[in-house]
Structure 1
Amino acid sequence: MAALLATTMTVTLAACGDNSEENASNAQTVPPATAAVSPRGTAQPVGAVEPQGPASALAVSGATTAVLGVDGHSVTLHSGVGAADAPGPKVVQLPMSDVVALIADGDGFLGVGPDGLIAIAADGAVTQWRQLIDSPLSLAVTGDKTLVGTSTGKILVFPADRKAPSKTIGGFVRVDQILVAPDTSPDVAGQVSVLDRAQSAILPVDIDSGEHKAALRAGNGGTNGVVDHFGRILVTGTRDNEIYAYYGAPIVQRLRRPVAASPYALAYDDRRDLLWVSSTSSNEAVAYDLSRGDAKERARIATVGQVSAMAVDPVTGRLLLVSARGDGLQSVPAELTP
């Protein structure tokens, strides 16, 4: 493995403040990176694989794992994944079409589509807030606010009742992912950042004022991100075969490391301080130990093909991976990885 590349680069992409719309229109962009097509006939996936149709998103809430189908019309609820007496999965047909994002929210899950927001309880009960949303792309919750990102470069801020957005924050090219630092973060609790694939950048923003903060590049093809319990923002650089880590206010790039080809989905194990990174070109996932800040490889496992999303069960440490081409839902107990 090539040597670790660390940096404290603080180059900003654009000025802060009220000229954010102008900055977005003048931004240098790249074609958003996509995952390599997975080969077939690779090694048997580690752990267990449950039947699951092609999926685009995965979220864990309590004992339930929710998987969003690629068509955006259904969510499959898997209860007690990995348990010998686990009941069969329950498919929930959604009353709205083209749901594009799914996250854990309290005791259940929250999704978004062009017809509004939708909550799915662990028992399959559905609540919908109808609201036309132009080109939704991503979703997050911070405090009592629900944030929806769009492919037109906006964040819609919904208040607690989720009936209609109370504020719109523009100035991005795309809002592919909204990353929120948890309350456990020592210095950046509540920090909200946007991952913009078109700019391949991390762009912090003040949700209350709408002010854009200093932003940083995420290589030449950043695709997916996750925030750990320290508030570190971890990103896959799919085009350049790298991972990046950012931290602070203003953010600073703390880590840049070469990884296996076509890193795409990622997940964080807060209990063991491990970052899991999938490689669709080889159908593998690699765990990197970040406890010392040097991203040392700790484990490497075979996965289902075309992994589109991963998550770590915060209670059991079980790693969950789902396939975009219908290879199934893979679950790997913590004891099978060092």
Structure 2
Amino acid sequence: MPSPVARRHAITVGLLVVVAAGCSSGDDQTNLNVREPETAATSPEITTAPAGVVSEAGTSVESMAFDPGSRTVAALTADGRTLLLQTSAGTDATPRTTSLPEAGNSVSAGRDGTVLVTTNSGVLQVDCASGAVRDLPVDGGAVSAVPFGDGLAVGNSSGAIHILDADGGVTETIDGLASVDALSAIDGQLTALDTKQTSVTSIDTDRGALGPALRAGEGATNLASSPDGRIAVADTADGELLVFTDDDLILRQRFPVAGSPFAVAYDTSSGIVWVTTTATNEVAGYDVSTGIGVETARFPTVRQPDSLAVDSQSGDLFVGSSDGQGIQRIQARSE
């Protein structure tokens, strides 16, 4: 049952804090209210053995994603030059390695058996089966990318969102944010997380403009979404999990998560939101299907669990250590 503190933090409607119009690349952004992006809390030494199985990565993990088409977990190494690929359904604990032509800074799920690696030059589309890499240059580089329409939506650290067609050509550019650190695309609705403004913003691609925006706590860091329209955001600074709905962009839930929440992943089959807490080396699952998040499970992790992915078919969790302690696999539905 949720605690009284959790109940006090639950709210059903969020306050609109920004309504921004679409901007051209020449618009002045110097008046934006920005802060230094929040970072993960430094983890203590491990005192409890990590749950599940831990495989050596040979290096620290910077970012993780799961491709449901090929059921492959992809882990980007700390130097950004190598992508580790491992089939979730297989028994081989040794991931395959793919060398990247340019250092990446994040990896996210693509489509048709691919993952997307953002770089300072654009996006690398990596085939999970063959390891083949397709280079998609984007002006200003990229820090976030999601499938959108027949192509991609790509965000950069300067606050621009580029819409790419199936051939990789830019068809639309929408400016006005401070940074576009994560993107959610649900049924044609695009939503952006800006960690410098600690906000989420609806993107009106029909008008080529920014839509309504909401404050996302005091220091939002990561985002995960589900096909039913829910968007979960970790507010690391405040120690809270925020749950928005993309329809009209409403803040539906807000409740405390102890231990400095950071990485977020959505099990779309069970509806459970998983969140790592780097101050305690744990990952916790929350049922957010009702009015308040209810904790359903908690597992000890590798040290510094800064990245997270989930196989929604099996429910298995994959936790990446940015401290060089490997990749952890947890059978969350059976333990």
TM-score by length of 1: 0.90
The Cα of 1:19 is off from its aligned counterpart by 5.7
* Deviation, structure 1 residue 290: 1.5
1:275-321 CA-to-partner distances (Å, cap 9, x unmatched) read: 11110000011111122231111111101111121111021111111
Aligned 8 A contact 2:122 2:142 in 1: no
**1:297 alignment partner in structure 2:** 295
- Shifted more, 273-282 versus 12-21: the winner is 12-21
Asked if 1:70 corresponds to 2:115, the answer is: no
Aligned residues of 1:108 and 1:119 also touching (Cα < 8 A): yes
Does 1:11 find its partner at 2:35?
no
The structure 1 segments of at least 4 consecutive aligned residues displaced by more than 4 Å after TM superposition are: 18-24
Identify the residue that residue 117 of structure 1 maps to in structure 2. 123
CA distance 1:129–1:8, change in 2 (3 Å) = same
Deviations, residues 5-27 of structure 1 (Å, cap 9, x unaligned): 22244432333434688684322
Counterpart of 1:75, as a letter, is L
In structure 1, C-alpha distance between the alignment counterparts of 2:281 and 2:75, rounded to whole Å: 20
1:14-64 CA-to-partner distances (Å, cap 9, x unmatched) read 334346886843222222111101111321110001111211111222232
Distance 1:204 1:300, change over 3 A: same
Structure 2 residue aligned with 1:59: 65
Q: Structure 1 unaligned runs (5+)?
A: 182-188
Deviation of 1:78 (Å): 1.2
Is the Cα–Cα contact under 8 Å of residues 60 and 322 in structure 2 kept in the other structure? yes
2:38 partner SS:
coil
1:141, CA displacement in angstroms?
Answer: 1.1
Q: Does structure 1 conserve the Cα–Cα contact (< 8 Å) formed by 2:22 and 2:174?
A: no
Question: d(CA) in 2 for partners of 1:240 and 1:139?
Answer: 26
The answer to whether the Cα contact below 8 Å between 2:20 and 2:176 also exists between their aligned partners in 1 is no
| d(CA) in 2 for partners of 1:170, 1:307 | 33
Q: Is the contact between residue 288 and residue 294 of structure 2 (CA under 8 Å) also seen in structure 1?
A: yes
Q: Residue 184 of structure 1 corresponds to which residue in structure 2?
A: none
Change (3 A) 1:10 1:257: closer
- Inter-partner Cα distance in structure 2 for 1:14 and 1:218: 11
CA contact (8 A) 1:101 1:112 kept: yes
Any residues of structure 2 matched to 1:275-294 within 5 Å, and which? 275-294=273-292
Distance 1:220 1:50 in 2: 35
Distance 1:264 1:23, change over 3 A: farther
Supply the distance in 2 between the matched residues of 1:208 and 1:128 (Cα, whole angstroms).
Answer: 28
Q: Call closer, same or farther: CA 1:202–1:24 in 2, change over 3 Å.
A: farther
Tell me which residue corresponds to 1:186. none
Query: Per the alignment, in what secondary structure is the counterpart of residue 102 of structure 1?
Result: strand
SS at match of 1:14: strand
Q: Matched residues in 1 for 2:317 and 2:118: separation?
A: 25
Structure 1 residues 268 and 250, CA, compared in 2 at 3 Å: closer, same or farther?
Answer: same
Question: Within 1, Cα distance between the matches of 2:75 and 2:83?
Answer: 5
- Report the Cα distance in structure 2 between the residues aligned to 1:89 and 1:173, rounded to whole angstroms: 36
**Separation in 2, partners of 1:268, 1:116:** 26
Q: Give 1:314's aligned residue.
A: 312
* Cα displacement (A) at 1:129: 2.6
Aligned length: 326
> Do 1:56 and 1:309's aligned partners in 2 also have CA atoms closer than 8 Å?
yes
| Secondary structure of 2:154 counterpart | strand
Equivalent residues of 1:35, 1:280 under 8 A apart: yes
Q: Note the 1:227-246 alignment, pairs <5 A.
A: 227-246=225-244
Which letter does structure 1 place at the counterpart of 2:127? Answer: A
Identity across the alignment (%): 31
Q: Does 1:179 align with 2:187?
A: no
Q: Which residue identity does 1:7 align to in structure 2?
A: I
Structure with the higher strand share, 1 or 2: 2
Q: AA paired with 2:11?
A: T
The answer on whether the counterparts of 1:305 and 1:323 sit within 8 Å (CA) in structure 2 is yes
The aligned counterpart of 2:33 is 28
8 Å CA contact 2:223, 2:231 repeated in 1? yes
Runs of 5+ consecutive residues of structure 2 not aligned to the other structure: none
Question: C-alpha displacement at 1:132, in angstroms?
Answer: 5.4
Give the root-mean-square deviation of aligned CA atoms.
2.0
Deviation at 1:135, TM superposition (A): 4.3
1:43 aligns with 48
TM superposition score normalised by structure 2: 0.91
